[in-house]
A and B are shown apart, each in its own frame.
Chain A
């Protein structure tokens, strides 16, 4: 018998959801002020509407559902999954009011894409978008990358154990520091220090590239946020191709890799433990996976003959690959070129890279390197069991911050999540094929959406069917939250309907 959720459940969920919505309203003040500063009155009003609607909703929820009780696991998970849906809708208000999105669904698509750090976009005439709207697109990526709950926990919550439950619900099952609030603040510290350094590096490069100083630093900040949070939005429609600059590409590669590294690893490197970088199972898995997927892509590109010089092949092939592997989605080729100029093998290399993703407890999506490493170790352990005599005691260890023993529980969890992602990639591809797109293109776009990458081979367009837009939104949402909180929400709804 499933117990029906009681009023206390609803109140706790509503109260903390309200707090998170209020924090979203506070973040909208940043683009609003930029709009005032740059004399963009209409965009400033778009943000004013967004702030007011969020304030009204947040105030009502926190008042009506007021409670002093802490969240339990189920409530924490539901708050997280609902927060992402609420943030998607509320953050879409200023975008939709700008007139650059054909429908509210398209605006929601872009906000979920931003929050989930995907980078697929349905914006029209992006090259004439206001600075404030452009900043908002990148800010939601920055907040989504850190985790919406992290924003609320760091800024608005004084301290409660429910914070950890929401933190886990946002697919961060590793604590950086014993206190989750201190951990969240560390994530902010790292992100803001890198934001300043990255913006300066990209801004100065932009000036040397011939950009106007204001534009150079504005683009620098936006591109940093999109790269470090492995998001992939860019201020111009051509993505990184707009800059025509090797230096820009190199800097963004460095930032993308930093964004794909576990924050826990950042913490150790931050404290001078550089050896951890080389010993960690995730770094090793990422290194091996990069080599294998790049080899596949490079052989494919060599077969096409489009890049006859090795250096050019490396520059184009590696950039799209690392962008896919880290889950960023920056492109230095046009979307249609994947189909017209690249062959199937090269595309398969990128699809594999996208499907695997970066490190756990980073801003990347997808299966993630820790799980790839654990599955590989489990396979090795099973092979040893078959080969070695029965009486041999086989112990498999791996290094992740400390030496750890591989146990069946870990392997089961890794395999379950991996299976979940594979099903998600396949489901999106099948729906894509139902909509009339060929297999490989459907699989490419579906993997890109579900793994929160953002590379596109051209399917993601304003004209694509609404059912596919909704499919990709769900994929981005479920992929970013790693299923658990989304499944808990589904269970909660079932319990509310069928429970006794």
Chain B
């Protein structure tokens, strides 16, 4: 085999590995598909992406995080050191970190009481979480004031009539 072809193959391999670690090549699988076609994905390595929501729950050397992809939230079992990368989790006031997880999908995890879960092998943070700025609607504020006026007026009328 000519040397130039060997070089091209080597370059392709290196690029492939790089892409693998950046997860650039792997297609993420939506939660709905993982749940509905769980038999096919059971025990296989999958890539799943979504927002970390709720609590990051440390359990010994591991932790549970729940990752929501817009359809469902799936439980992800992660080694403790990987969980450290997750800084912000989603709730009313925060949009959580968006993470891309590569791990083994379990249709019914025997280690975790039959839960449908993913055991993470790698986590990449796609974007940092952000604080959500709460907007107070002016129309809502006006409605509160108008209704307060009406209820106050009714109450006064009732009091006056009682006298």
A residues within 8 Å of B by Cβ?
A: 40-42, 45-46, 48-49, 52-53, 55-56, 59-60, 63, 97, 127-131, 209-212, 215, 236-238, 241-244, 246, 249, 306-309, 312-313, 315-316, 332-334, 336-337, 340-341
Contacts and interface: CB of A to CB of B under 8 A. Distances in A.
B35 A56 contact: no
B80 to A, nearest CB: 11
B75 interface: yes
Given A49-B140, A52-B151, A341 B53 contact: no
Given A244-B57, A340-B36, A341-B108, A59 B140 contact: no
Given A40-B92, A127-B73, A341-B108, 14 more contacts: A41-B134, A48-B144, A59-B154, A63-B158, A127-B68, A131-B92, A209-B59, A210-B55, A236-B53, A236-B73, A238-B75, A244-B117, A312-B113, A337-B116
B113 A127 contact: no
B114 A307 contact: yes
Interface string B4-42: 000000000000000000000000000010011111000
A59 B155 CA distance: 7
Contacts of A42: 134-137, 140
A52 B147 contact: yes
A333 B150 CA distance: 48
Given A42-B134, A97-B140, A244-B112, A336 B36 contact: yes
B103 interface: no
B110 A244 contact: no
B35 A210 contact: no
A340 B151 contact: no
B140 to A, nearest CB: 5
B115 A244 contact: yes
Interface in B63-85: 63-64, 66, 68, 72-73, 75
Contacts of B37: 340
Most chain A CB atoms below 10 A, which of B92, B116, B144, B154: B92
Interface string B136-160: 1100110110011011001100100
Most chain A CB atoms below 10 A, which of B36, B137, B151: B151
Contacts of B58: 210
A42 B143 CA distance: 12
Contacts of B161: 63
A332 B161 CA distance: 57
B107 interface: yes
Interface string B94-134: 01000000000001101011111100000000000000101
B53 to A, nearest CB: 4
B143 A49 contact: yes
Interface residues of B, number: 50
B140 A334 contact: no
A368 to B, nearest CB: 30
Contact of A49 (B32, B66, B68, B144): B144
Contacts of A241: 75, 115
B43 interface: no
A236 B54 contact: yes
Contacts of B135: 42
5 contacts: A42-B140, A127-B73, A128-B91, A334-B116, A336-B35
Most chain B CB atoms below 10 A, which of A211, A242, A316, A332: A242
B108 A312 contact: yes
B147 A49 contact: yes
Contact of A41 (B54, B136, B154): B136
Given A237-B73, A316-B114, A337-B35, A56 B68 contact: no
Contacts of A130: 92
Contacts of A215: 54-55
Nearest to A237: B73
A370 B32 CA distance: 41
Contact of B158 (A59, A129, A236, A337): A59
B81 to A, nearest CB: 15
B38 A128 contact: no
A210 B154 contact: no
A244 B117 CA distance: 10
A312 B110 contact: yes
A128 B73 CA distance: 12
A236 B74 CA distance: 12
